[in-house]
Every structure is written in structure tokens, then in C-alpha cells.
Amino acid sequence: MKMNELSIGFVGGGNMAQAIIRGLLAAGHRPDRLYVSDPSAESRQALAEMHGNIRLQNDNAELAGLCDVLVLAVKPQVLPDVARQLATTERAASQLVISIAAGVTMASLRGWFSDSKRIVRVMPNTPALIGAGMAGLYADHDLDSIARGWADYVMEATGESLWVSDEALIDAVTAVSGSGPAYFFLVMEAMQEVAMEMGFDEQQARLLTTRTAAGAGLLASASDESAAVLRERVTSPGGTTAAALEQLEQGGIRDIFRKALNAAQKRAVELGKHELGDS
């Protein structure tokens, strides 16, 4: 079967599901092979506007019985209910279950979907909403290559994917790329504030900071050089960039980021334990 003919079902048709579906449609996936169930009229409307031929279902269980790939795209707190609804549904033994629910562990997924042999846990991030996402993927070591290919196909519709070999690293993915966009937003916010103090209006300050952030990100992604080399290249001794970077280093920016990412990772571990009910 061609990838674009896989039947892919989404339980929950909110922001993330819509982002993945948009990406799949743009990549040429057959709309009549995409199924979504969602109680929200708003989400259903958005999906119908995206492509009239997407199959909108009322019933999660019915949807789950129809698809090769089942994407669990509801909020984490809703997932136990959804799992209960699906527990008695006849689903293909080959079906791949993908959970994008933050903090929901493989142990929980294995417990809830005990009939499923193929399960992937994903940690996406918000730039997925514009096709610029970075997702971490984890599966038990025995997941076959076909299922891995399906998971890549689905997640690459919203950006890049990275498989991790140890589930604990999903907490690190959460700390780096899951929460990461907010760190860059904070930096932009701070730069924008100062730009306004320097005399720019809000719109000008926003343009200067957001385009600089986007440009730096694109340059770093496109380049084979490390971020350190790119930074050194724009830093002439005694120049303006050097004056600014000296302040950031003196202020302990590296240590601040170390503390921040470690705090996020620790919190992700705690939330995962809480979700398992053992804390």
C-alpha cells in the first residue's frame, strides 16, 4: 500500500491533529483516508473547511475500527476515557497507535491499549502548527520498521522527527524542544522591550526581533557549522556583538539555561509519575 493511502484516524481534531492533517494533505495524502472524531463543532468545521472529503466520525470506537494508524490527539486528561471507549473495539492487530499526549507514558499506553502491539509515544512542539515542528518519538525496541516508517510519515507532516532509544529521553525532549519555543519567545520578548526603549514602536521592535530570531534559526538549521562557530563569525573582537555577548556571559546565560532545562526535565519526570498514579 502506498503511504498516501494509509487510513489514518485522529481521536481529537484540535490544534495538533489539524496541523498534522494539513501537513498530510499538503504531502498528497488522500483526504478520504483521513478520519477524525471530535465532539467540538468548531474543530469539525475547521476540518471540513480544510478538505471536504475528510471523514468526520461521531464515534471514537467506530473510527478506531477503520484505520491503519490511530493518532490519539486529545488532551492527556481525556485519554483514559478514550482508552476505555476503545477497549472493547475490534481493531486490526497491525494497527499502529500514536499518542501525542504530553506526559503520558508508554507503560500507561501499554496498559490501556493492551491489545496493541504497535505503539509510539510522541512529544511534539507548537511550531508543528506551521509545519516547523520538532518531535521526539519513542517506541519499545521491538517495534518493526514498517510501523516506524508509518510514524515518521505521520509526524514528518508537521516538521522533523527524532527517535530516542530510551523513554527517559522523552523527558529531555520535552525540556529541549517541547518547552523550547517558549525560551526563544522569552528572549524575543526581552529584546523587543529593549528595542522599544531604544526608540522603535511595537511593530518595528517586533519585526526586528522576530525576523532576527527566524533568520538565526534558519541559518543555524541550514548550516553545517555549529552554533558556536556561527556566533564567533558575527563577533569581531572589540565590536558591538562582543560587547553584548560579554554581558550575557557575565550574567551567566549558560548556567541559567542549564538550570531552566534541568527544571523542565525534572518537572516532566514528576508529571509522568503523577500520570502513572505513583506519586
**Residues in touch with ligand NAP (CB under 6 A):** 11-17, 37-40, 43, 60, 73-76, 78, 81-82, 100-102, 124-126, 178
SS (H, E, C) 229-256: HHHHHCCCCCCHHHHHHHHHHHCCHHHH
Sign of CA dihedral 101, 270, 263, 140: negative
Instruction: With residue 62 as reference, give the H or E element that holds it.
Output: helix 60-64
Q: Find the residue with minimal CB distance to ligand NAP.
A: 14
Q: Which of 139, 181, 135, 138 is nearest to 16 (CA)?
A: 135
Terminal C-alpha separation, the chain: 45
Q: For ligand NAP, which is the closer residue by CB, 116 or 177?
A: 177
Q: Give whichever of 126 and 210 is closer to ligand NAP, judged by the CB atom.
A: 126
CA-to-CA distance for 53 and 185, rounded, in angstroms? Answer: 37
DSSP calls for 99-156 = E--TT--HHHHHHHTTT-SEEEEEE--GGGGGT-EEEEEE--TT--HHHHHHHHHHHG
What lies within 8 Å, CB to CB, of 112 at 6+ separation is 79, 80, 83, 84, 87
Q: Closer to ligand NAP at the Cβ: 43 or 265?
A: 43
Smallest gap, in angstroms, from Cβ of residue 44 to ligand NAP? 9
Shortest gap between Cβ of 128 and ligand NAP (angstroms)? Answer: 7
Tell me the closest approach of the beta carbon of residue 210 to ligand NAP, in angstroms. Answer: 19
Q: Which is nearer to ligand NAP, 184 or 200 (CB)?
A: 184
Pick between residue 158 and residue 195 the one whose CB is nearest to ligand NAP: 158
- If the CB atoms of residues 85 and 235 are measured against ligand NAP, the closer one turns out to be 85
In 3D, which of 85, 86, 119, 84 has the Cα closest to residue 101? Answer: 119
CB of 202 to ligand NAP, least distance (A): 25
Least Cβ distance, residue 133 to ligand NAP (angstroms): 9
> Minimum distance between the CB of residue 162 and ligand NAP, rounded to whole angstroms?
14
